[in-house]
Structure 1
Amino acid sequence: MTGSHTRERNEDIKNFLTHHRSRLNPEDYGFTLQQRRVKGLRREEVAQLAAVSVSWYTWLEQGRDISISPAALKRIGNVLQLSTTEQDYLDRLIFGAKNAPKPGAIPHEVKVMADALAPHPAFIRRANMDILYWNEAARSQIFDWSTIPEDDRNSLKLMFISDDYKQKIHHWELAAQHTIAAFRTYYAASNYAEDFGRVIDDLTARSEAFREMWHRQDVSKFGTGNKAIIDSQGKISHYTYSALEVESAPGIFLIFYLCRASEQP
């Protein structure tokens, strides 16, 4: 990992830990609310509750290169009331992602699979949400990615920079928050921070709404879920979706949408 990417990860660690301790009520832990300049627990209180030294926890928040055990990080996560997904995210920020080859070309058979899933929408993307391929059903029912520049064919980008895409998403703000949270989880799990960094940098420069949501530090998994799409006539279609990683091509995902049974033709 390059120096700039190390600094970015260190900043992610700092922001994540400070955000989550700011959410906590000191009284729930037996501390007074008096003489506090900021919300939540102080660093020394987190350290005390997690049975680590104050200086060590401070260095952790600063992203310093320190020795850390999974058990100590788990105790900190318990104090901060992290969910399982949030704890996994923090572990990956601290310990790094598992070694994996850099995603390459889409295997031909995966494209054939996407086409064979018609009339159901299906498309192929990378972990950083770059859209690589889609079938005709996805183009007609979800979005026509061919109408936008290749550099903007990214699910997270489209949430914020494409008015046409935003108008198709029912409950856009909730969907945008979920997409950011999933992107952040993929980011922590990847060895290729530059693929994510260029998306973050571009959106930070182009979207105030993204800048605000990105700093919320939400994380979630993307494996399955629900999405409601609004067509050109204003009709809302409800889908469940599944994201399947291609075993022969790590970092490449096939996304399959299934329309609610009562709405299928």
Structure 2
Amino acid sequence: MSAKDQRLELAHFLRKNRERVTPKDVGLPTGSRRRTPGLRREEVAILAGLSPTWYTYLEQARDIAPSPAALERVATVLRLSSYERQYLRRLSERSRQSSHASEGNDQTENQWTRIVESLNPVPAYVTTCLCDIISWNEAADEWYSDFSELAKERRNIVLWMLTSPVSRKCFVDWETEARELVARFRTAAVGWYGDPRLTELIENLNESSPHFRRWWEEHHVLGPNTRSSKMRNTRTEIIDMTIIDLYIGHPNGEKIVIHVPATHTG
């Protein structure tokens, strides 16, 4: 991720969140002549105890280095969640990533394959940091798709979710699942802008999915979590699933996604 790309992402994230906070949220009068959605830049700056010019430079992606304390005050004004604050801090750090996000090796993939196969009949799959699917078990085939039928460059859970008609049958509340997946993908992308695989994925998703274009522009972020979801398998059974994201090693590296079935709901 180039320094410029990182500043642009930081600026975009701040602007989108500023637009989501109303004057009423922070105790300011609404007024009848406001044309700016949410807060004005100078209002954020003053509430955070910062120079309006300095904060404007931040949203313009100028080459300035915000301190952790200044970012924390801005985060408080923008009413960011604890995870959004963590994301903001990561965006403000100088990039340390240099290797390709899509790189892997046969030995690692074989290890993951043994792990997910041992989890049968619980559905499980493994992705890279950019959500490329590198291993999965037979149960995942039953609940999702036979990923082996996809070309390797399309074997990506975000691409599958946003472009495959099967995904809409698989998830009862497809829109919520897909929107949250895009938010987790947005988080995973920090540090990888400029990587050829990430560039390819974003271009492909922008071209093929209006949902992705809209949700990407919103710049919502989510971290790995444990969540409940209603899923429909190939036999059209609807099952309550607890979906668990587990990182092994680096917190932004490869991830295993495990699905624990609950009870039948109809």
Deviation, structure 1 residue 143? 2.2
Describe the shift of the 1:247–1:191 C-alpha distance in structure 2 as closer, same or farther (beyond 3 A). Answer: same
In structure 1, give the amino acid aligned to 2:249.
E
Q: 1:168 aligns with which of 167, 170, 176?
A: 170
Q: 2:243 aligns with which of 235, 241, 246?
A: 241
Deviation, structure 1 residue 9? 2.9
The corresponding residue for 2:141 is: 139
Q: 1:70 aligns with which of 68, 71, 79?
A: 68
**Separation of aligned partners in 1, 2:36 and 2:70:** 25
In structure 2, give the amino acid aligned to 1:203.
L
Deviation, structure 1 residue 63? 1.4
Deviation, structure 1 residue 21? 1.1
Assess if the C-alpha contact under 8 Å between 2:125 and 2:257 holds in 1.
Answer: yes
What secondary structure, in the 3-state scheme, does the structure 2 residue paired with 1:215 have?
helix
Runs of at least 5 residues in structure 2 that lack an aligned partner in the other structure: none
In structure 2, give the amino acid aligned to 1:172.
W
What secondary structure, in the 3-state scheme, does the structure 2 residue paired with 1:137 have?
helix
Deviation, structure 1 residue 104? 2.7
Q: 1:206 aligns with which of 205, 208, 213?
A: 208
Deviation, structure 1 residue 98? 5.9
Deviation, structure 1 residue 32? 4.2
Query: 1:120 and 2:117 equivalent?
Result: no
Runs of at least 5 residues in structure 1 that lack an aligned partner in the other structure: none
**Separation of aligned partners in 2, 1:93 and 1:61:** 13
Describe the shift of the 1:209–1:135 C-alpha distance in structure 2 as closer, same or farther (beyond 3 A). Answer: same
Deviation, structure 1 residue 15? 2.1
Assess if the C-alpha contact under 8 Å between 1:169 and 1:229 holds in 2.
Answer: yes
**Separation of aligned partners in 2, 1:250 and 1:83:** 19
Query: 1:10 and 2:13 equivalent?
Result: no
Give per-residue Cα distances to partners, 1:89-121, cap 9 Å, x unaligned: 111111146668655322533321111111111
In structure 2, give the amino acid aligned to 1:162.
S
In structure 2, give the amino acid aligned to 1:104.
G
Assess if the C-alpha contact under 8 Å between 2:188 and 2:252 holds in 1.
Answer: no
Assess if the C-alpha contact under 8 Å between 2:19 and 2:37 holds in 1.
Answer: yes
Q: TM-score, normalised by structure 2?
A: 0.88
Assess if the C-alpha contact under 8 Å between 1:187 and 1:193 holds in 2.
Answer: no
Q: 1:57 aligns with which of 34, 55, 58?
A: 55
Over aligned residue pairs, what C-alpha RMSD do you find? 2.3
Assess if the C-alpha contact under 8 Å between 1:100 and 1:250 holds in 2.
Answer: no
Describe the shift of the 1:88–1:193 C-alpha distance in structure 2 as closer, same or farther (beyond 3 A). Answer: farther
Of the structure 1 ranges 57-66 and 250-259, higher mean CA displacement relative to structure 2 is found in 250-259
Deviation, structure 1 residue 150? 1.7
Deviation, structure 1 residue 10? 3.0
Of the structure 1 ranges 65-74 and 97-106, higher mean CA displacement relative to structure 2 is found in 97-106
**Separation of aligned partners in 2, 1:124 and 1:79:** 37
Query: 1:46 and 2:44 equivalent?
Result: yes
